[in-house]
Copies of this chain bind each other. A is one copy, B any other.
Amino acid sequence: MVFTGDDISALEKRYRGRLINATSGAKSASLIGTKSEGGDENLALFSSVVHLGANPPLIGFIMRPVHVERHTYQNIISTGRYSVNAVTEAMHVRAHQTSAKYHAGTSEFESCKIDKSYLGDFPVPFCAESPVKIGCILEDDIPVPANGTHLMVGRIVLLSVADAFLHPDGFIDLAAAETAAVTGLDGYHCLGPVRRYSHADPQKEPKRFFP
């Protein structure tokens, strides 16, 4: 099926939402944890976490337009801190449930039965069972004028990786860690076993070195 820009504009709203959400591919599912200045905890599912750079260590994610109440955004702006937690297969249904519209003051950690944990003196809770837990300080909040979304830029100040999944060279085996990928708003996948290849060279074919 081929859709032009006009075809896309003419689509029924929910059909268009599912279609366009899926075009960008299956991506990592992350739970972002925050805490309000009043101490209310919040946990929300995102599939837009991207790598920005390793030195300084920066990751980004996309925040939807903030003209409606968004606890995650408000908490990040007021405290400057958030946690990014990898969603596993075992957690994916509970993670999906965090996208329900709970009232302010309701902790999704409790409502969705996701155990929290604290690491060091980082003031925001992590998901205890996540094999990759990232503590971020907000570095920048960049508006995207085209549609009112924001690119939230975070600097990694704390990182916990379950030892079993950390390769000797720094790579994290997310398939062995059983992390989940997500397509669009409601589709979840497990990851097949990772295959790693040599750095690409114009004169050679890529060589698989793991497994």
Give how many copies assemble into the complex. 2
Q: Which residues does chain B contribute within 8 Å of A158, judged by CB atoms?
A: 2-5
Instruction: Please determine whether A55 and B157 come into contact, CB atoms closer than 8 angstroms.
Output: no
A119 to B17 CA separation, bound complex (whole angstroms): 23
CB of A170 within 8 A of CB of B15, answer: yes
For A21, list chain B residues within 8 Å (CB): 51, 54
**Nearest B-chain residue to A15, judged by Cβ:** B170
Nearest chain B CB to A128 CB, angstrom units: 14
Do B50 and A171 have beta carbons less than 8 Å apart?
no
Q: In the complex, what residues of B have CB within 8 A of residue A160's CB? A: 1-3
Residue on B nearest A154 in the bound complex, by CB: B146
The smallest beta-carbon distance between A3 and chain B, in angstroms, is 4
Number of interface residues of A (CB under 8 A): 109
Contact partner, A93, options B106, B173, B183, B206, Cβ 8 Å: B206
Quick check: B186 and A198 within 8 Å, CB to CB?
Answer: yes
Task: Tell me which residues across on chain B come within 8 A of A194, comparing CB atoms.
Answer: 183, 187-189
Segment touching B, from A34-42, A69-77, A136-144: A136-144
Which residues of A132-167 have CB atoms within 8 Å of chain B's CB atoms?
132, 134, 139-140, 142, 144-147, 149, 151, 153, 155-161, 163, 166-167
Option from B50, B93, B189, B210 in Cβ contact (under 8 Å) with A50: B50
Output the least CB separation between A24 and chain B (Å). 5
Whether B58 and A146, one on each chain, are in contact in the complex, defined by CB atoms closer than 8 angstroms, is yes
